[in-house]
Amino acid sequence: MNGADVLIKCLEKENVEVIFGYPGVAICPFFDSITNSPIQSILIRTEQNAAHAANGYARTTGKVGVCVATSGPGATNLITGIATAFADSIPLVCITGQVDSELLGSDVFQEADITGAVESFVKYSYLVRDAEELPRIMKEAFYIANSGRRGPVLIDIPIDIQNQQVSRFKYPEEVHLRTYKPTVKGNTVQIHKVIKELEKAKKPIICVGGGIMLSNAKESFMEFVEKYRLPVVSTMMGISVMPTEHPLYFGMVGNNGKPCANRAMNESDVLVMVGARVADRAVSQPDLITRNKILIHIDVDPAEIGKNAISTIPLVGDAGHIFEDLYKEEYTGNHEAWIRDLQEYRKTMLVHRKVNPAYVDPAALIRLLSIKMEENGIYVADVGQNQMWSCAYHIVKKGRFLTSGGMGTMGYSIPAAMGAKVGNPDRQVVAVCGDGAFQMSMMELATMVQHGIDVKIVIFNNGYLGMVRQYQHFTYKDNYSAVDLTGNPDLRHIAAAYGIPFYRLSNMEDAEETLNAFLREEGLVLMECMIDPMDLA
C-alpha cells in the first residue's frame, strides 16, 4: 500500500462519494489508486471549475467538497476557486500533487509553492512530508473544513510521498488539535440578553447571511422566527433561508437589494445580524446600522463580530445551536404593528422597470422560470446583471439559491450547478448566467455530456459585460471601455457541437412555451435569452 492508496482510503473513511479533478504527472499515483475505489472521479475541463463544482456540491449536500489537481499550473489554476470558497466559507478539501520532496524549492518543472500562494484564502494547509502522517492530516483537514466557520483546506502531496510504501492503514477516530476548538454553543447569558432586547423592541429585524445555510440551521431558524413572529431580511448569501413569499420575509438588503428590505433595516430599533459579515455590498455604511439602534451580532467566527460594525450584544456560536436555544426561551414581545408596516412597504415600494418588448425582459423571465421550477429546485446565479436580476426576481419556494457572493467570481454558475447536480441527482438544477460568464466556463459542457449531468443553463445574451457597462453608464458617462462582446459565438452552434438541445428566446411572446419545453428536456440543455444591451439591473 502506498501513500496514494492511503489517501483514497482516507477519502472513503470520510464518506467521500465523488471528487472533481484534473490529472498531471505529480498527482498520477492518486488517479491510479482511485480506479480501485468506488469514489467517482469527474474529469472537469479546467481546475478552477473543479473547486467551483466542489463548492456547489458542498453547499447543497452539507458535505465537504473535494477537488484534486496536479502541481504547478494545476494547483495555481485552483486558486480562484479556493478564494471563492473562502469568501463564502464553503468547506472544501483541495488536494494537489507536488514535485518530489527532494526537489522542493529548486524551481523544477511544474513546481509552484501552492501552500504559500493560497495562505491568505485557506482555513489551513498542509505540505505532507511523510505518508505515515496522511491519516491524521486527512482527518484533521475534513474536520477543520467542516466545523466552526467553514472553509477550504489544502493538502499538497509530493509525488514521492504518494509513492511511499506504508506498512499499515489506521484511520484515527478523532482529531487532537489543541489549538482549534470552535465555540458552537452560545453563551446562555448572552442568549437571554438577546431575547430581552427583542422583547423590548418596537421594530426588530433579523438580517440573515449564508451562515444559516452553512450550519444547516434553516429549520431551527424558521421555527424561531415563526414562533416569536419576527420579520426577516437577508444578504445575498442569505437568499433561500426563507421562501421569498413568506409573510415574515422582506427581501435582500444592500445596494442592489429591495427598497422595502433596506427601509426595514434602516428603521429598525433592534437589528440582529446572523451569519453575515456586514460587508460593503450588504451594508455600505456600517455606522448606520449601529446608530440609533441596538446591534446584536451572531456569528461562529468571533473575528467577524466587531470587524466592520461594533455590536451592542455579541453572541458567538453556531446558528443551529443558537436558534434552538433561543427557541426555548419565554417570549412576550409583540411586533404585529411593525410587521403590518413592513407588509405595506413591500406592497408599495416597488421598483418600476422600463421594459423593451423587442427583447426578453429578464425580470419577467426569471419570475416565470422560478414559478415553473420544481419546488425544491436549485437555482445557481452567476455574477453580473444576471445575478442582480436573479436576486431581485427569483422566487424561492423550498429550493436553494446559490451564487458567488463574497468573491463575485464570474463563471461560477455552470461548474457550481454541475457540482450541485452531482450531489443531488433527484433535484432540478438551473444555472443562469450572462454571455460573458458563459464563455468563462462553457468548456464544462463537455464534462456534463461525458458524465451525463443534467443541468438546465439559461444564458442572458446582451452582447456586453452588462454589469460593467451599466457601471460605465453611470460613473463614466457612457464611455464604454472593454465591455463589448462582439465576436460571441453563435450559441446554437455551440450547443450543436456538444450535441445538446438548444432554445433561443428573442422576446417574451413565446416565453411560457419555450420555458416549458426547456425544463421538460431530459439532460443538459441550453436556453439563450436575447436581452436589451441597454437594460439596467
**3-class secondary-structure state, position 311:** coil
Q: Which of 35, 36, 165, 179 binds another protein (CB under 8 A)?
A: 179
Dihedral, CA of residue 440, residue 444, residue 446 and residue 450, to nearest 10:
180
List strands edge to edge, sheet with 204-208.
249-252, 232-234, 204-208, 270-274, 294-299, 313-316
- Residue 178 or 291: which CB sits closer to another protein? 178
Q: How far is the CB of 433 from another protein (least distance, A)?
A: 31
Binding mask 308-347 for another protein (x = CB under 8 A): --x-------------------------------------
Give the range of 159-167, 239-247, 266-274, 305-313 binding another protein by CB under 8 A.
Answer: 305-313
- Cα 410 from Cα 48, distance rounded (Å): 11
Q: How far is the CB of 136 from another protein (least distance, A)?
A: 14
**Binding to another protein by residue 288, rule CB under 8 A?**
no
**Binding to another protein by residue 302, rule CB under 8 A?**
yes
- Residue 115 or 428: which CB sits closer to another protein? 115
Q: Which three cell numbers stand for residue 116?
A: 504559500
Q: How far is the CB of 146 from another protein (least distance, A)?
A: 14
Q: How far is the CB of 119 from another protein (least distance, A)?
A: 6
- Cα 225 from Cα 207, distance rounded (Å): 12
The helix or strand, by DSSP H or E, that contains position 462, with its residue range, turns out to be none
Q: How far is the CB of 58 from another protein (least distance, A)?
A: 20
- Residue 177 or 496: which CB sits closer to another protein? 177
**Binding to another protein by residue 301, rule CB under 8 A?**
yes
Give the range of 47-55, 176-184, 289-297, 470-478 binding another protein by CB under 8 A.
Answer: 176-184
Q: Which of 144, 360, 437, 458 binds another protein (CB under 8 A)?
A: 144
**Residue 175 burial by CB count (10 A; 0-12/13-18/19+): exposed, middle or buried?**
middle
The helix or strand, by DSSP H or E, that contains position 172, with its residue range, turns out to be none
**Binding to another protein by residue 172, rule CB under 8 A?**
no
Give the range of 102-110, 261-269, 306-314, 499-507 binding another protein by CB under 8 A.
Answer: 306-314
- Cα 420 from Cα 438, distance rounded (Å): 17
Q: How far is the CB of 301 from another protein (least distance, A)?
A: 7
- Cα 396 from Cα 215, distance rounded (Å): 19
**Binding to another protein by residue 481, rule CB under 8 A?**
no
Question: Can you give the length of the chain in residues?
Answer: 537
Q: Which of 307, 367, 397, 427 binds another protein (CB under 8 A)?
A: 307
- Residue 116 or 425: which CB sits closer to another protein? 116
- Residue 115 or 390: which CB sits closer to another protein? 115
Q: Which of 165, 303, 474, 522 binds another protein (CB under 8 A)?
A: 303
Q: How far is the CB of 20 from another protein (least distance, A)?
A: 25
Phi-psi region of 312 (alpha: psi -120 to 50; beta: other; left: phi over 0): alpha
Interface with another protein: number of residues (CB under 8 A): 18
Q: Which three cell numbers stand for residue 535?
A: 437594460
Q: What is the Cα Rg of the chain in Å?
A: 24
Q: Which of 13, 136, 180, 183 binds another protein (CB under 8 A)?
A: 180
- Residue 158 or 436: which CB sits closer to another protein? 158
**Long-range pairs for 473-481 at CB < 8 Å and ≥24 separation?**
473/536
CB contact at 8 A, 250 and 281:
no
Binding mask 109-138 for another protein (x = CB under 8 A): ------xx--xx--xx--x-----------
Question: Which of 231, 222, 267 has its CA nearest to residue 343?
Answer: 231
CB contact at 8 A, 406 and 395:
no
- Cα 457 from Cα 512, distance rounded (Å): 16
The helix or strand, by DSSP H or E, that contains position 466, with its residue range, turns out to be helix 466-475
Give me the residue label for grid cell 490529472.
23
CB contact at 8 A, 4 and 163:
yes
- Residue 302 or 408: which CB sits closer to another protein? 302
- Residue 112 or 388: which CB sits closer to another protein? 112
Dihedral, CA of residue 235, residue 241, residue 247 and residue 250, to nearest 10:
10
**Binding to another protein by residue 178, rule CB under 8 A?**
yes
Residues contributing to the site for another protein (CB under 8 A): 115-116, 119-120, 123-124, 127, 144, 177-180, 301-303, 306-307, 310
